Homo-oligomer: A and B are copies of this chain.
Amino acid sequence: MSPDPVKGLILVVEDERAISDLLRLYLSREGFGVQVESDGLAGLSAARTLHPAAIILDVGLPSMDGTEICRKLRAESNWTPVLFCTARDDEVDRVVGLELGADDYITKPFSPREVVARVKAVVRRAVQAASSEGPLVLGEVIVDPVTRRVTAGGSPVQLTATEFDLLEHLMANQGRVFSRDQLLSEVWGYAAIVGTRTVDVHVAQVRTKLGDYSPIRTVRGVGYSAELEP
């Protein structure tokens, strides 16, 4: 395997000098390299050329919105982990952000330690995903995308094709909340003409089969996600 240009580099796109300085300080103290861009366009091109391990994006940016940057990157199949960073404690912003492919978000004011922890978590997930084809593990549930076998608490579990795809999708993006429509388009396929109720039924099936080990959490009014703490 050929070496990547730089690893452990975090790209910070943030126009407030005070914040970017703080992030630089804490992240570099943890051994990350840090590159700061204060402008949206510059941030986008930096994201393209530097291949950072993760990107911290301010939502309110001059010249190009943070969500816009993320959307553009995703459109180019660039799946570098993105953490959104927003001042307004606005729920909609978050959901919208997560829907368009962000991996996490933080709200100002934040503790630098929190940011560092989230960056670490996000990078870890990405690295894990990149060492692809490994089994997905969450608690006592193990999902192997290659053999399509599932075990819960050590015992094999028989899932149908759709049930497997659903669980795999959730566990491959653990912690992330998906709306029913998202799940329909991402698991069922591009033109799912089925009602969103269908998702409920399959989720219920998976939960039944996994029993107490089921990691699927329902987020009322939003959708579902897979995580440890129910």
A residues apposed to B, CB below 8 Å: 1, 3-4, 7-8, 30-32, 53, 89, 91-92, 94-95, 98-99, 101, 103-105, 111, 113-114, 117-118, 120-125, 127, 131, 133-135, 137, 139-140, 142, 144, 146-148, 151, 154, 156, 160-162, 175-177, 219-222, 225, 227, 229
CA distance A161 to B116 in the complex (A): 24
Indicate whether A113 sits within 8 Å of B151 (C-beta atoms), given known contacts A31-B92, A92-B8, A94-B124. yes
14 contacts between A and B (CB under 8 A): A1-B101, A4-B99, A30-B91, A31-B92, A95-B127, A114-B142, A117-B137, A118-B134, A121-B133, A121-B144, A124-B146, A147-B176, A147-B225, A148-B219
Contacts of A177 in B (CB 8 A): 146-148
Q: Are the CB atoms of B140 and A91 closer together than 8 Å?
A: no
Report how far A90 CA is from B193 CA in the complex, Å: 45
7 nearest interchain CB pairs? A161-B221, A31-B92, A117-B135, A147-B175, A91-B120, A114-B137, A117-B142
Cβ-defined partner of A121 (8 Å) among B113, B121, B135: B135
Identify the closest chain B residue to A227 (Cβ).
B147
Residue of B nearest to A101 (CB): B1
Q: How many copies of the shown chain assemble into the complex?
A: 2
Closest to A91 in B: B120
Nearest CB on B from A81, distance (A): 11
Residue contact B221 to A95, C-beta cutoff 8 Å: no
User: How many angstroms from the CA of A96 to the CA of B92 in the assembled complex?
Assistant: 31
**Chain B residues in 8 Å Cβ range of A8:** 91-92, 95
Q: Is the CB of B135 within 8 A of A111?
A: no
Please determine whether A131 and B98 come into contact, CB atoms closer than 8 angstroms: yes
Q: Which residues of B contact A124 (CB under 8 A)?
A: 91, 94, 146
A146 and B127 contact, Cβ closer than 8 Å, known pairs A113-B140, A220-B161 = no
- Find chain B residues with CB under 8 A from A151 CB: 113, 117
Let me know if B146 and A113 touch, CB within 8 A.
no
**Residues on B with beta carbons closer than 8 Å to the beta carbon of A104:** 131, 134
Shortest beta-carbon distance, A155 to chain B, in Å? 10
